[in-house]
Amino acid sequence: MQNNITVEIYNRNLSSPTLIEDITHKIQRLKFSTKLHGGFHICSFDLMADLPEAWEWITKRLYYRLLIRDGVKTLWEGRLEDVYLTEGGAGATAYGYYVNLSDIPYATAYNANADVVIKAVLTANCSQISSDQTHIDATGGPAITSAADAAYLDIYPKEIVEKLANFSDDTNSARWYFGIWEDRIAYFFARSVSSLNWAVSINDFAKFRLKYRGAELWNSCYAVYDAAGLARTATANDTDSQEKYGDGTNSLIRRYVIPQLGTVVAGAATSARDGWLEEHKEVYPKLTDMMLGDRVFDTNGRVYPSSWVRAGEVIRVEDLVPASVDATTVTRDRLRTYYIVQTEYNLDNQTMRIVPDTESTNLNSLLSQLL
């Protein structure tokens, strides 16, 4: 499908940005991605330029603003950080403004719910993020005590956000995500899979491979934390899951222990436990190769470029629905409806790689999230 993508470079003034150059026709091998947590994630491209122009990129354009659009639709926004020079030209990598959360560490003690803490941290230490905080939803708790140990202080806002999101909430054990989207506005929200953004068929994929792993099932859980010494929450069990995967006589119990959370109130540890159990009590598919072609459809059948798909949206593969399943129901299931947490668009191939929120708990996957 035809894209009308433009790539523009602006100066560093985010309050009153000045367009420096439209580089749409000067680049090749353009890729851009979105991710939760994060929002707009990484963009990379090669620049077709002679040596003087390439040298200007190296010396003058670090931290300039990069904006990618399709008409009025913003596809990506971030700041240039990595540039390189070769005998054949130059290239660059830009990062979404979530990187501003890794500029200045935060050292002030806090004792409030996650959303309150995040608002305070952004205001104090993240000058490139919009002051519009209306999309940071209230978590309902639990609060993180100001007595939290060093693991919660003198760290960067990015680490704080991701640590607090892991505590879920004490209302419905929801999975929470954080992202910086258009105009550098912050969003903090519970995952919702109550409505669809996109509907596709198997034929719309360039590649599709779905895999289930029994090792990803955990239907029993407790958490370890500090409370004037080592403490453990009570063990929570999902008996429906344990019976479902049992042999009819004996239940199958797979118990996960959440590693040391540090000094937090008991309610926070309990909420982290309940959120983990809610997330892992079923075996969800691992889509190891989910690559859309150049198009995607909304729920009314209108066609759009696949470059419009982003993390935080819900996609359904219509022809994976068995005849016995209610196709009108929208829920994150193990069959055909997926909540997207990462995308990568390749302009040259006009393909969109999609990653759903079925994280792996194996060592290699956990290590890759830290790199």
Cα torsion 356, 361, 366, 368: sign: negative
Rg (CA), the chain: 22
- pLDDT-based confidence at residue 366 (cuts at 50, 70, 90): very low
Per-residue burial over 264-282, b = 16 or more CB atoms within 10 Å of its CB, e = otherwise: bbebbbbbbbbbbbbbbbb
Per residue in 264-277, pLDDT tens? 888 889 999 999 99
| Residue 202, pLDDT score | 86
154-196 pLDDT, tens digit per residue, is 899 999 999 999 888 888 888 899 999 999 999 999 988 778 8
284 vs 199, which has greater pLDDT? 199
Tokens of 105: 């560490």
Beta bridge partners of 336: none
Segment 196-210 shows an average pLDDT of: 86
pLDDT, one tens digit per residue, over 30-46 is 999 999 999 999 999 99
What count of other Cβ atoms lies within 10 Å of the Cβ of residue 288? Answer: 11
Question: For the purposes of burial, counting CB atoms within 10 Å of the CB of 16, is it exposed (0-12), middle (13-18) or buried (19 or more)?
Answer: exposed
Residue 93 confidence (pLDDT) above 50? yes
Q: CA–CA separation, 301 vs 317, rounded Å?
A: 13
| Token output for 159 | 């680490």
Q: What percent of the chain has pLDDT over 70?
A: 89
Res 248: pLDDT: 84
* Phi, psi of 215, deg, nearest 5: -65, -15
**The tokens of 291 are what?**
């690559």
Model confidence over 102-119: pLDDT tens digits? 999 998 888 889 999 999
Q: Please determine, for residue 58, whether its predicted confidence score (pLDDT) is greater than 90.
A: no
- As beta bridge partners, residue 77 has 67
